[in-house]
């Protein structure tokens, strides 16, 4: 079978190779013919050598979707032909993680999604909502799981206000899922065109942070001085202090990204005085993805895909991810 490997930490080190066809799945396993993948910031960090502990060569990309083509003994609830998303956290099925469960990950410590046939534990796949395309299914495991967990952790619903920073994959899923849960959504971007698209998806208020450099003041104005219940913090040092300021008393800062770095000096007083909660995130479990999938199916949410690339253009897909400027997700058709 064919696969893409990353030979070293460089976007120029991606190449197609031939691998032996997989054997029949063992007890508790399934073979999945991979149909699509999608890119996340962690994939870029791996490809650039910015993620610790990577051993090269590696089959990259955490998120993927496909069709079950073989089933091992002991597997229940699945059948040949089922369309599934493969959760990248292969060992984290449900509940609180251990370090091993959280850190064992497809495309990082395990082979990723850029191959023709994957052999995986059946407990790590989630059946897809019927209305979704292969590419749409592939966008869900990291981004939709993370967005769902942020909203669930904040208990966001009617009467809640959610602030989303930027228009990347997690923020757009959080917008769609928050509206399905009945929450009010404020979203930021430097692009009026992207903010118009966000409004078309249901955003209640938008803030262009180029026009409003003190965007936390604008957020407080939009909430009558109260602040928001949840900030989905995607950037890190450049935005974190303003995120604290934009949150209401007892609000939640759900920290998922480090686009502007990982280290900075922090004033603890806003956290203490406002009794804020700061919550990190490492995606979530297979069970969490299942809940997000149920919500997406019930609300018939269509994942927003900015661009779809052929597997032959995987290097260009990574470069678009690195350049930024996209809205939603970047998908890859595994059209070998």
Whole-number percent of the chain with pLDDT over 90? 94
What local confidence, expressed as pLDDT, does residue 268 receive?
A: 95
From the CB of residue 179, how many other CB atoms can be counted at a distance below 10 Å?
18
Q: Is there a contact between 282 and 102 (Cβ–Cβ < 8 Å)?
A: yes
Query: Which tens digit of pLDDT belongs to each residue from 234-250?
Result: 988 999 999 999 999 99
Query: Which tens digit of pLDDT belongs to each residue from 247-285?
Result: 999 999 999 987 777 888 999 999 999 999 999 999 999
What local confidence, expressed as pLDDT, does residue 330 receive?
A: 98
- Say if residue 9's pLDDT is above 80: yes
Query: Which tens digit of pLDDT belongs to each residue from 93-143?
Result: 999 999 999 999 999 999 999 999 999 999 999 999 999 999 999 999 999
Under DSSP, is residue 29 helix (H, G, I), strand (E, B) or coil?
strand
Under DSSP, is residue 310 helix (H, G, I), strand (E, B) or coil?
strand
- Give alpha helix (H) positions in 81-191: 99-103, 134-138, 140-153, 169-180
Whole-number percent of the chain with pLDDT over 70? 100
What phi-psi label fits residue 79: left (phi over 0), alpha (psi between -120 and 50 degrees) or beta? beta
Query: Using CA atoms, how far apart are residues 271 and 264, in angstroms rounded to an integer?
Result: 15
Q: Is there a contact between 231 and 150 (Cβ–Cβ < 8 Å)?
A: no
pLDDT (mean) for 19-47: 96
């Amino acid at each position: 079978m064919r696969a893409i490997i990353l030979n070293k930490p460089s976007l120029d080190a991606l190449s197609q190779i031939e691998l032996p066809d997989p054997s029949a799945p063992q007890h508790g396993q399934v073979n999945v013919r991979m149909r699509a993948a999608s890119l996340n910031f962690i994939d870029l960090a791996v490809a650039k050598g910015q993620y610790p502990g990577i051993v090269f060569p590696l089959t990259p990309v955490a998120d993927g979707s496909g069709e079950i083509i073989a089933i091992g003994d002991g597997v229940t609830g699945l059948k040949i032909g089922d369309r599934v998303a493969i959760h990248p956290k292969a060992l984290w099925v449900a509940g609180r993680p251990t370090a091993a469960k959280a850190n064992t990950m497809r495309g990082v410590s395990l082979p990723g999604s850029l191959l023709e046939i994957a052999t995986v534990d059946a407990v790590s796949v989630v059946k897809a909502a019927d209305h979704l395309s292969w590419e749409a299914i592939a966008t869900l495991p990291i981004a939709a799981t993370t967005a769902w967990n942020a909203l669930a952790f904040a208990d966001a619903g009617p009467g809640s206000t959610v602030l989303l920073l930027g228009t990347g994959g997690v923020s757009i899923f959080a917008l769609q899922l928050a509206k399905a849960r009945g929450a009010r959504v404020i979203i930021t971007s430097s692009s009026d065109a992207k903010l118009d698209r966000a409004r078309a998806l249901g955003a209640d208020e938008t803030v262009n942070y180029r026009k409003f450099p003190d965007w936390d003041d604008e957020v407080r104005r939009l909430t009558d001085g109260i602040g928001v219940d949840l900030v989905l913090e995607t950037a890190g040092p450049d935005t974190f202090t303003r995120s604290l300021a934009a949150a209401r008393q007892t609000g939640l800062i759900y920290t998922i990204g480090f686009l502007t770095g990982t280290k900075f000096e922090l004033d603890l007083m806003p956290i203490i005085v406002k009794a804020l909660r700061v919550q990190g995130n490492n995606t979530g479990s297979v069970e969490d993805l299942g809940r997000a999938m149920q919500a997406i199916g019930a609300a018939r949410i269509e994942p927003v895909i900015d661009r779809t690339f052929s597997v032959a253009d995987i290097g260009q897909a990574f470069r678009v991810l690195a350049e930024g400027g996209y809205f939603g997700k970047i998908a890859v058709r595994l059209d070998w």
